[in-house]
Each structure stands twice: as structure tokens, then as C-alpha cells.
Amino acid sequence: MIKVLKKSSHIIFFLPALIFLFVGIAYPIVWSINNSFYQWIIGGNPIFVGLKNYYDIFFGILSKDFWYSVYITVILTLLTVALQLTIGMGIALLIYDRTQNKIIRSIFLLPMVIPPVVSGTIWGNFIYNPSYGILNYLLSFFGVAPQLWTYSSQQALPSVIVILVWQWTPFVVLLLSAGLESLPKAPMEAAVIDGASSWQIFWYVKVPLLKPVILAVTVLRLMDTLRAFDIIISTTLGGPGRATEILNIMTYLTAFVHFNMGVASALGTILFTISLAAVIIMLYILRER
């Protein structure tokens, strides 16, 4: 008996993780994919309609909203991740080799520890507010006319991107600076002896060596930004009009405002597929040759 247990003990220890994976991840995904084939308004009985929800989303009555949301999502994700990586790399290069970097690093980490809903509320209500926000007040000293920020459709998307960059760049800095510190010194010394400029050292030595870290950071940020929800819901709720309605917000509104679970599940499945595809493409592009 004990022998059997001994041999199968690893299964017993795996069990909690397996149960969690199944209950917490696999089951909801399968359930949600299953729901997406039903016409189901909350409270009514689900009616099987096959691919109708997908047809409506891609070509039918919801297509205009859907493609608009896709467009907003793509713009928001690409700009945010690109900015986070560029700024994050710059800051990481500045701080990674300094002696006092522990203190500096902790300071840089501060935005990351604020819950996104809180930072969204603070930015939306106290920093961006055109009437009594701090930003317009500070800019007035430089003679800048009051701007509308998240309160107008033209500026809402860039303003939201600024919050996202502010909140999550520290995360990029943290990983990149750790990556930079762990790089071997020899190739860089060799490059210096060969007379390479500091830009050449960065581009031809450090970046290739850092590739795995950059890949990991990009994938993480990409997935997170595609799902950016808390900051938008707490600042603009997808508005003004539909200016910041990314796919996630559209899914939320469909499920909890329009009560349309079938379409919301289909949207969720699409978003899931898009994230998955994006990650696979990234992995392919940045793979180790």
C-alpha cells in the first residue's frame, strides 16, 4: 500500500494544481466557448444558434462596433507596448549600473504597486479633469491653454495610453535592469577594445544578449495591455462616445449592461484567440535562431 502511495505520491502532490487549472482556467474557457454558440440574453433560455453570434460580430449588425473596437485595441496595445519598452529600456540603461540603484529602483516601482482602479480614478478625476485637474493647473504656468484630456474623443486615447505607460513601465524597467545586470562582462570589454561606440555596444552586443528578456517582457506586456480594462473602466468607461471602447470594454458592456451572454462569450473567445495569436507570432519573430 505504502509502496503504491510512494510511487504515485507525485500525482497526489500535483492534484491541487491540476484541480485549480481545471476549475479555474480550463473549465471556464470551455464553458465560455460553448456559450458563444448560443443566443442567450441573461434570464432567457439559451437557444443554440451555431455560428450566428460570430457572423453578427464579423459581418452582421455588430460588425461596425466590433471592427472599430479592434482598431482601438490594436492602436492602444501597439503604442502602449512600444512606449513602455522604449522608455523602460532607457531608464533601465540609466540606472542598472549605479550604486544607489536600489533606492532609485524602489522609487520607480511605486506606480506599479498602486491598484489600477485607484490610479485610474486619481488620473481621471484629479489629474485630467479639465476644470479642477492638476495637469491643466501646472501647464497654465507655461502658458498652455487648458486641455480636455480624457474628456474629449481626440485626446482620450492618448491620455489613457499615458496612464498605462506610467503604471506599467516600472515593470519593464525592473525586468530589463535585472537582465542587464546579469549580462556577461567579457563581450562588452571585447567590444570596447575593438573600438565600438557605446551605441554599437548597446545595439550589437547588449540587445542580442538581452533578447530572451525583451521577448518575455514584450509578451507579458502585450497580453496585459490587450486586456487593459481596469484603467479604462475607471477613467472613461469606453467614452466619450465610443472613443476608448477596446474589445474588453465592449465585452463587459455586452455582458453586464446589455445582458447578452452569447455575444459576450463570442467576443471573449475572439479576444482570447487574438491574444494567443499575438503571443505565438511574437514568439516566432523573436525566437532563438
Partner 1 sequence: MSEPKKVDRRKFIYAGLGAVALIAIGAAAYVAMNPPVVTQTVTTSTTVPTTSVVTTTVPTTSVVTTTVPTTSVVTTTTEILPPIPDYSLAKIDWKQFKGTNINLISHSAPQTEYMKKRAPEFEELTGIKVTFDLYAEKEYSDKVVIAAQSASGMYDVLAVLPAYSATFVMQKWVDPVYKYIENPKLCDQRWYNLPDFYDSALSYGRFDPSTNTFGVGQQHMIPAPGYLETLPVLYYRKDILSELGLKVPQTFDELEEECRIIKERKSNIVPFVTRGCRMAGTWNIPLAMIGCYGGNFFDQEWYPILNRPEAIEAVTKYVSLMRNYGPPGAAMYDYTKAMELFKSGGAAFYLDTGNYYGVLTDPATSQVANNVGVAEIPAGPKGRKVNFLQWSLAIDPNSKNKEAAWLFIQWVTSAKFAYELMAAGKGPSPRKSTYNERVIQDKWGDFINVVAASGKYSQILPLSLIAGKTQDIFSSYTSAAIDGQITAEEACRRANKEIYDAMKAAGYYDKPPKYGTYNNGGNVIPHSPDWTP
**Which listed residue (4, 17, 110, 131) binds partner 1 by CB under 8 A?**
131
Phi, psi (deg, nearest 5) at residue 202: -60, -50
Site string for partner 1, 135-174 (x = CB under 8 A): -----------x-xxxxxx---------------------
Regarding 242 and contact with partner 1 (CB under 8 A), the answer is yes
Among 104, 125, 215, 224, binds partner 1 (CB under 8 A): 125
Judged by CB under 8 A, which stretch of 128-136, 162-170, 222-230, 264-272 contacts partner 1? 128-136
Binding flag, residue 241, partner 1 (CB under 8 A): yes
53 near partner 1, judged by CB under 8 A: no
Give min distance, CB of 203 to partner 1, in A: 43
Does residue number 28 form part of the binding site for partner 1 (CB under 8 A)? no
Min separation Cβ 133 and partner 1, Å:
9
Locus of grid cell 530589463:
176
256 near partner 1, rule: CB under 8 A: yes
239 binds partner 1 (CB under 8 A): yes
CB of 59 to partner 1, least distance (A): 14
The residues pairing with 260 across neighbouring beta strands, listed in sequence order, are 41
Q: Which residues contact partner 1 (rule: CB under 8 A)?
A: 5-6, 9, 12-13, 41-44, 61, 125, 129-132, 146, 148-153, 236-243, 253, 256-260
